[in-house]
Structure 1
Amino acid sequence: MKDFTIAALLGGPEMIILGVAILLLFGGKKIPELMKGLGKGIKEFKQGQQDEPIPAPVTEKTK
């Protein structure tokens, strides 16, 4: 099977229709807030991937 992305399925007219639909649903003022939140989330996710993993505490079982 060939690998593909959703962007490969969408052409120019489809992208315009999608953009207009998003604009109608969320309004012009809400979209920058949504994009800012999305950007912050992506940034935090990338920083989390780069951080050293926290080692699990070693516990000894007692009898």
Structure 2
Amino acid sequence: VLAACGIDPNEYQGFAFGMGIERIAMLKYGIPDLRTFFESDLRWLRHYGFGAFQAPSVVGGL
């Protein structure tokens, strides 16, 4: 990351982190493991109330 920004990684160190939408959903719904978001288990989706085509949109709101 540092080299891509033109910063010498041999001279400087960096730390990167992020708060993605998955992490926010984990906090909201009390989901303990991030990997379950990507397993495509329909039972898990139904348990947490996520529909297959439920996605927020600008028209429909969040």
TM-score (norm 1): 0.23
TM-score (norm 2): 0.23
* Bigger proportion of residues as helix: 1
